[in-house]
Structure 1
Amino acid sequence: MAIQEVNPMVTPHGSKEASYLLPLNKEDWEGQGIPDFVYGQEELLAREIQWPRHASGMLGALPPSRFDSAICSAWRQRMELGLFRYHLGELQTQILPGAVGFVAQLNVERGVQRRRPQSIQSVRQPFDPGQFNFNKIQPGEILFRLHRKPNPASALQQEDILVMINVSPLEWGHVLLVPEPAQALPQCLLPGVLRAGVEAVLLSLHPGFRVGFNSLGGLASVNHLHLHGYYLAHRLPVEGAPSKPLDPSGHLHLLQALPAPGFLYHTSGPGPDLEALVNRVCRATDYLTEHDIAHNLFVTRGAPPGKSSPSSVLTGVRVILWARKSSFGIKENQAFNVALCELAGHLPVKTSQDFTSLTEAAALTLIQDCLLPPAQAEEVQVALVALVTQEEQ
């Protein structure tokens, strides 16, 4: 019995989009083709998003958007069909006592079952077709193609993105956003891909849907261009952390709160403001890549820069960029490895013993050990401010 289509969309031409669900018969997957999720600027939800009084479960009491429904129904089906490396149930979660508000989760299976990271020696390492890459996945791992309706006013290149499951999920709805895999792009951020990531956050009605990027040396485990996206039903420190402006126009801020100082960019929503942000961020990541400096990036709904937001209301999207020491390979003896979600305050912990004993002080030590030494951090800050200042002149 085939699974019925969920939330079909009628396109302007009057035809329905394909279902995001697979036939139950595996032999039919190959001929199914990749369905399109077509969206326009009107679906980018720039209005205030608010955390419910009691955020729990995957979507809690929040009404899902069309994007949320598409991801969650297809992702749940792939879990039921056994396409993941392990079954992900509700993860044991705790908020670590202390000023930061770390969200720690016990995810033993991810620590044990995830694919071994590739051998990486440089942030600028070329793509290697002999290593694992996203041309080698099962067809059923792809949920849909994210396709933006053409926008003549946009100067950015249109980029179709494949949304596929992360077979070793760190949380519910953990997906990868991958530009056409056949392009064989190394793990270096590009403007069209970043815009798709920011717009994915704006397509969601859930304040806990986040998107991120790990560079090579920043714990990216696959050297094939991709972003991560996932749901986490908990607030994170970076959503409302205070910041100070670094340039006269306020386009670049520095987060001043723990767990780690980062460069903060903000957009109020779709349009020229979002495109300007994408260009600013990618100029910064280009600089870091050219200088072989590892980095992590996190995209979340959050307060405007320069303002602390203790309330549950989130206005616009924050993009936080961290420059950090290069780290090649997983450190098995640590409670967690520091990448995009850990720098934002979400700690997937690998063992029950570490989960029980982990303290805020220990977590901060692990994170701060991965940051650049002060002199190099200051050098990077001066360079990124110069990039923004050049743009303004």
Structure 2
Amino acid sequence: MALQPGSEDISYLLPPNGEHWEGRAIPDFTYGQQELVVEGIQWPQSAASALDTWALSRFDSVLRSAWSQRVELGLFRYRLGELQTRSLPGALGLVAQLNVERGVQRRCPQHMRSVRQPFDPEQFNFNKIQPGEILFRLRREPRVPRALQQEDVLVVINVSPLEWGHVLLVPEPARGLPQRLLPGALRAGVEAVLLSTHPGFRVGFNSLGGLASVNHLHLHGYYLAHRLPVEGAPSVPLGPGGLLHLLQTLPAPGFLFYTSGPGPDLDALVSRVCRATDYLTDHEIAHNLFVTRGTPPGKTSPSSALTGVRVILWARKSSFGIKEAEAFNVALCELAGHLPIKTSEAFSSLTETAAVALIQDSLLPPAQAHEVQAALVALLEQEEQ
């Protein structure tokens, strides 16, 4: 059964109880290009706004209703209440949130040995989740070019959520794809951001060695009702072609890609980002990626309007084995300025200086970072010729 564009009936997503999930058809969320919203998205005057107050899109309404129902059915490891949140004093606008339950109750991450580690069907993977954890299948009509297409992107709850509405985008789980970014997966993530009319819906990817906890291809998506530094941070172009920019603002310099919306511009972004992540993976360099609405690249941010989508890519030190920092571990959201904190003590005492030091400790040494930057610029400009 599919929910077509323009339909408001989402009752098919909400079975009356959780007793008969086995054998139930996975509903389709089918959308067209007309639902990819580019114009008119910006933050209100207040620093934050509750999800309830937004004029939500069809995508938001479906995800919200299905996610809330799974909460009532007890399918999460803990019940996520309203998280204590504060902006750390300082120039960066880092957002700290206390989430003790995620730090204690999340599934133990798998042991990784390599950024290129093959998929292991004996380890936990998304073919082993409960059927009720699947919300719907994300489907694009008309079909995109085959090279950029994933036929079966499941939207699944993260049973250990870091924020409200935390889901996983899992492309073609039956294929057993390892945690290596593919063009169709990235396209689904960018279009999910464009399907939401909430400026705080973000998508991200952790590579192996970049704190991915499951070696089965997936992206994260979640709502955070707060601005983040990466949305409008200034940047400079790298190389004469301007195909790649470098965010210069702390907490972490990152490679910036930008698209003004669907069409050839989005196609080009997907291709460039995946060429860059392929290079990093092939050279055993861990990385994190963050997708958010934001302003065009440049040295200044001309307005508060979020006129397109920013994709930020960070190359970082590999982290294999289970390593738990006292305040927070550094992955996709921390690099973007969202800091889920694991203890009350750390939440109350953390400073911007300490947070930045912890984040920067995860980055590549300057000499290696410069080598990676030069290699990516040369790679992208060579392939664009």
Question: Where on the TM-score scale, by shorter chain, does this alignment land: which range?
Answer: over 0.9
Tell me, yes or no, if the aligned pair for 1:37 and 1:146 is still in contact at 8 Å.
yes
After TM superposition, list the pairs within 5 Å mapping 1:1-393 onto structure 2. 9-10=3-4, 19-24=12-17, 26-54=18-46, 56=48, 58-151=50-143, 156-309=148-301, 311-393=303-385
Change over 3 Å in CA distance of 1:155–1:124 after alignment to 2? closer
1:92-128 residue CA offsets vs partner (Å, 9 max, x unmatched): 0000001111000000000000000001011000001
Q: 1:130 to 1:36 in 2, by over 3 A?
A: same
- Alpha-carbon distance change, 78 to 58 in structure 1, aligned in 2, over 3 angstroms: farther
Larger deviation, residues 329-338 vs 153-162:
153-162
Query: Bigger shift: 63-72 or 145-154?
Result: 145-154
The residue identity in structure 2 corresponding to 1:89 is G
Would you identify which runs of 4 or more consecutive aligned residues in structure 1 move more than 6 Å?
14-18
Residues 11 and 17, structure 1, Cα contact 8 Å, conserved in 2: no
Q: Is the 8 A contact 2:93 2:229 kept in 1?
A: yes
C-alpha spacing 1:229/1:177, structure 2 compared with 1 (3 Å): same
**Contact residue 234 and residue 248 of structure 2 kept, 8 A:** yes
Distance 1:281 1:153 in 2: 17
* Whole-angstrom distance in 1 between the partners of 2:301 and 2:309: 13
SS in 2 for 1:314: coil
Deviates more, 1:134-143 or 1:301-310: 301-310
Report the number of matched residues: 385
SS of equivalent to 1:28: coil
Query: Structure 2 CA distance, aligned partners of 1:153 and 1:290?
Result: 25
Q: Is the Cα–Cα contact under 8 Å of residues 209 and 230 in structure 1 kept in the other structure?
A: yes
Q: Which moved more, 1:311-320 or 1:190-199?
A: 311-320
Distance 2:144 2:124 in 1: 37
Where structure 1 has 5 or more consecutive residues not aligned to the other structure, the ranges are: none
Alpha-carbon separation, structure 2, partners of 1:162 and 1:41: 19
Deviation at 1:156, TM superposition (A): 2.4
SS of aligned partner of 2:148 = coil
How far the C-alpha of 1:17 sits from its partner, in A, is: 7.5
| Stretch deviating more after TM superposition (147-156 or 303-312) | 147-156
Aligned CA distance change for structure 1 residues 297 and 160 (closer, same or farther; 3 Å): same
Given that 1:10 and 1:17 are in contact with CA atoms closer than 8 Å, whether structure 2 keeps it comes out as: no
- Cα deviation for residue 314 of structure 1 reads 0.7
Q: How has the CA–CA distance of structure 1 residues 15 and 244 changed in structure 2, closer, same or farther, with 3 Å as cutoff?
A: closer
Gaps of 5+ in 2: none
Distance 1:31 1:58 in 2: 36
Q: How far has the Cα of 1:27 moved from its partner?
A: 2.5
**C-alpha separation between the residues in 1 aligned to 2:4 and 2:59?**
15
Report how far residue 332 of structure 1 moved: 2.7
CA drift at 1:180 = 1.6
Change (3 A) 1:231 1:16: closer
| Alignment-mate amino acid for residue 171 of structure 1 | E
Q: Does the 8 A contact of 2:169 with 2:221 survive in 1?
A: yes
| Corresponding residue SS for 1:234 | coil
Within 1, Cα distance between the matches of 2:141 and 2:80? 34
CA contact (8 A) 2:259 2:269 kept: yes
- Is the CA contact (8 Å cut-off) linking 1:71 and 1:173 kept in structure 2? yes
Percent identical? 76
Question: 1:50 is paired with a residue of what secondary structure?
Answer: coil
Q: In 1, distance between residues paired with 2:372 and 2:298?
A: 21
Instruction: Letter of the 1:199 partner, please give it.
Output: E
Q: 1:9 to 1:126 in 2, by over 3 A?
A: closer
Cα deviation 1:203-222 (Å, max 9, x = unaligned): 00000000000000000000
Counterparts of 1:58 and 1:170, CA distance in 2: 16
Query: Displacement of 1:151 after TM fit?
Result: 3.5
Instruction: Tell me the alpha carbon deviations over residues 15-57 of structure 1, each in whole angstroms, 9 at most, x when there is no partner.
Output: 9777222331x23211321000000111111213111223545
Aligned mates of 2:90, 2:165 — CA distance in 1: 28
Amino acid at match of 2:172: E
Sort the Cα spacing of 1:77 and 1:56 in 2 relative to 1 into closer, same or farther, 3 A: farther
